[in-house]
Chain A
């Protein structure tokens, strides 16, 4: 694997999953690929932790699932975003952005400013 890959920050996997399925229904493996693709392979995702996260999100009602057919004609379980999930994604994204701004602001501050 590439040395440049970063480990995922704790708690961000849920947000990434929601983002991934917000672009259209996907099966578990598809979600993995989608995240890697969007992040241009810069994120490392533990495959084993992907499914518990999916189950948890479904349990909480953010996403829903149904069985469908994959690109190569195989049965696969597809996840899609629910209305509640969409709202959740929005608030999480806002929170993340605010947090990122604050952190960035702190890190960029110069000695004179402090």
Chain B
């Protein structure tokens, strides 16, 4: 309280400067006059009385000055003086000012940009009302290998959703959803759009009101009722030009008319999904079984309920779920007890951010280190400047400036530099944020929300001031204490180097090398990771010349499964006939496509299975003949599929190499074995073993996979055919990706059926690049940070050595005059530089060992303490440091003794 009082009193005094002066005058005059009057009353003559009054009072001006001091006017006054003086000093050394400002602009700008991203992605709450109540219904199931991996856990089944939604005590509302696609026709060209299918409770949980119209209601979730749909803001703008009369119109999605009931507002996303349409899931309750774990659960907690309490609530409902539903006659609903399903709900924000936080914090950390190096550099520059200013400071000290005052003067200068760098840095950061959004992994969550807000600006101001303080304090403390007489005495003649004088700068330079070492090792580890990823065989070859695209044939368009296969076959034939195409085929899902395929258990005829355990789950895919040849996926044993087998519904199947090895020991042993998915299914004979495919990205283990023919018969009884309706076509051609080729491809598809939209038209290279995006983004960011660190660190060493050489000119001159060999002088200088670099590298080694452990989750195929990287970086740094010393060292060698001696 009193503190603020004083500040207020000082501020008032400064602001009403002239008034205070007037009042002070009046007050002192009154005193002297009153004193005079009293004397006159006692009989002293007026003249004499006045004289005595003045003598008694003492120095009026001194009293006034002391009064001002008491008011704190002087503090603020002299601060302004320091500011003016600081500005003048910066203006007088433009070279220094420009270099220091640029260094700081780069450092602060890069830090602000990265902080802007960290702030927008990790720190800001999600864009929903009371977002802290929102949770993702994450659950783990250690007993369900394959189906429930660590990252996504076990998804919910529709029956689970009904049990949870109807019996819980912990949630305000709860629902499930899944992302998908739909073909929209009748609006211009057929188009495949992104959909989110939702149950009741999802929109209620998120709580974002529609832009216009209404939410999907419980009534819209009744199967067989009127079909309704909601639009995203973007789709509404794109397809309806933002026309408000769109609500109430019909839209044909997957060949079925649906009434548009509402539009969601701009920027609304469902968790991390961007979409065009919101479609009701409309589960047919009577037909649901226990299984079907394919839906994300989302819920809003009741106020005051903790996630742990909610987990207990969900755990309580699991037995209810198993007792309420079944997987059909003769199945035991309690087999799921062996899965050990454990609810583990997480804040929705964590679900959205996913593993992006690892990358972002590592990038933030490295950029922070770059800032440290930048500060060390500016501190070094200031130390050089301080040396040149010692005389001036000594004069000021001799004239009575206190140590505190001098420290403050120097600090004001460096704070101004910091703020200058910060101001320019914000402009730099603005560009940087845009660059980051462009560079950022396409799967970086909340990409569209990235911006610089007030918090980011606050961060910049704080960083500017802190860095100003950091790099200003070292020279300020060092030079404020210089003994006036000594400095004055030696001024004008530079002594030969005294060790003590350069210690601070050598320490700083070594620190810079150490920090640069840490950053370069991190960047090096990312390069090694990237190399390791490149070496992994993903399960397809020559991705640049592999065109992929998705086509879906809904049953509302073509009912008979066999006709679906005929159409797909026709498309494959047309594609293969395009000039320059070597072969074509299709599969239900290509690797790394970023969505999930079905998983289920298989049973082999030659194995015995106990009733109470479900065997491990396998990834299921359906393929066409020629697919493996087209994609370049090796057939390890046996052979591929033929069209004849497909149409004749021959019970054949292929398995992945790791599955064959697991079940029968070797790939060739698998050929001829028989397996099936469930008892009513005919036994299928294994005809081929396929190489392992890195389904979920090159870092992830290849899952055990079963490849079924794209058309299968007798699935649920004789004559009951099943065809895969949504597939990825794969075309091998030198022309893949070119515009002309894509025209041919569209033509080939549309000449079979003109209403089929082509979606996700890409080359496999793009799919691959996207899947290693996280790694390449981190690599680029750490590369930039490492590069900046290298340049700044080397500049630091160069600066120190170069300055030392210029200071020791006289000494070198004398040495050379006395007969020293120029080579020895060179060695001497190089030794000094090498010492700094070595010390830096040794410290850096320790730092890197400790810090690179934090980025383990980003590495692949390389240890955090990879010796190759450490040694390579150490050698690189020492070599570059020696080079930085060599240039000034050569100058030292060439000193002309006579000139050097005369120079003084």
Contacts and interface: CB of A to CB of B under 8 A. Distances in A.
Interface of A: 27-29, 32, 46-49, 51-53, 55-56, 58-61, 67, 70, 72, 74-77, 84
B63 interface: yes
B59 A28 contact: no
A48 B9 contact: no
B5 to A, nearest CB: 5
Given A29-B34, A52-B66, A75-B26, 6 more contacts: A29-B35, A32-B31, A48-B58, A51-B31, A58-B9, A59-B10
Interface stretch (B68-76, B146-154, B601-609, B669-677): B68-76
Contact of A77 (B23, B60, B63): B23
B27 A60 contact: no
B70 A74 contact: no
Interface string B17-30: 00000011011101
A52 B63 contact: yes
17 contacts: A27-B27, A28-B27, A29-B34, A47-B35, A47-B58, A48-B59, A48-B62, A51-B67, A52-B66, A52-B67, A55-B67, A55-B70, A55-B71, A59-B71, A60-B2, A77-B26, A77-B30
Contacts of B51: none
Main secondary structure of the interface of A (DSSP, over half): helix
A60 B71 CA distance: 9
A72 B5 CA distance: 34
B766 interface: no
B67 A47 contact: no
Nearest to A47: B57
Contacts of B77: none
A50 to B, nearest CB: 8
B37 interface: yes
A84 B10 CA distance: 19
Given A61-B2, A84-B2, A51 B30 contact: no
Interface in B223-282: none
Contacts of A55: 66-67, 70-71
B56 interface: yes
Contacts of A48: 57-60, 62-63
A55 B9 CA distance: 11
B58 A46 contact: yes
Contacts of A72: 37
Contacts of A32: 31
Given A52-B70, A84-B2, A47 B30 contact: no
B6 interface: yes
B62 to A, nearest CB: 7
Nearest to B20: A55
A60 B6 contact: yes
A59 B72 contact: yes
A76 B30 contact: yes
Interface residues of B, number: 29
Q: Ordered nearest first, which 3 A-B pairs have the shortest CB separation?
A: A48-B58, A52-B66, A56-B70
Contacts of A67: 23
A29 B36 CA distance: 11
Contact of B27 (A46, A49, A51, A84): A51
Contacts of B58: 46-49
Nearest to A76: B30
Given A48-B58, A52-B67, A74 B6 contact: no
Interface centre among B33, B58, B67 (most CB of A within 10 A): B67
B337 to A, nearest CB: 73
Contacts of A58: 9
Nearest to B55: A47
Given A28-B31, A46-B58, A74-B30, A61 B6 contact: yes
A44 to B, nearest CB: 11
A59 B72 CA distance: 8
A71 to B, nearest CB: 9
Contacts of A70: 30, 34
Interface centre among B6, B27, B30, B66 (most CB of A within 10 A): B27
B702 to A, nearest CB: 76
Contacts of B71: 55, 59
Contact of A47 (B10, B31, B70): B31
Interface centre among B6, B30, B35 (most CB of A within 10 A): B30
Nearest to B62: A48
Nearest to B23: A77
Contacts of A49: 58, 63, 66
A27 B29 CA distance: 12
A74 B58 CA distance: 23
A46 B62 CA distance: 13
A56 B63 CA distance: 12
Contacts of A47: 31, 35, 56-58
Contacts of B63: 48-49, 51-52
A70 B38 CA distance: 14
A67 B60 CA distance: 21
Contacts of B31: 27-29, 32, 47, 51
A16 B56 CA distance: 19
Nearest to A58: B9
Contacts of B5: 60-61
Contacts of A75: 26, 30
Nearest to B9: A59
Interface centre among A28, A56, A59, A60 (most CB of B within 10 A): A59
A87 to B, nearest CB: 12
A36 to B, nearest CB: 11
A76 B30 CA distance: 7
A17 B72 CA distance: 21
A103 B641 CA distance: 111
Contacts of A52: 63, 66-67, 69-70
A24 to B, nearest CB: 17
Contacts of B30: 27-29, 70, 74-77
A84 B2 CA distance: 10
A78 to B, nearest CB: 10
A76 B70 CA distance: 20
B28 A51 contact: yes
Interface in B90-138: none
B549 to A, nearest CB: 79
Contacts of A84: 2
A85 B408 CA distance: 32
A32 to B, nearest CB: 8
Contacts of B70: 52-53, 55-56, 59
Nearest to B30: A76
A73 to B, nearest CB: 12
A32 B57 CA distance: 11
Nearest to A71: B34
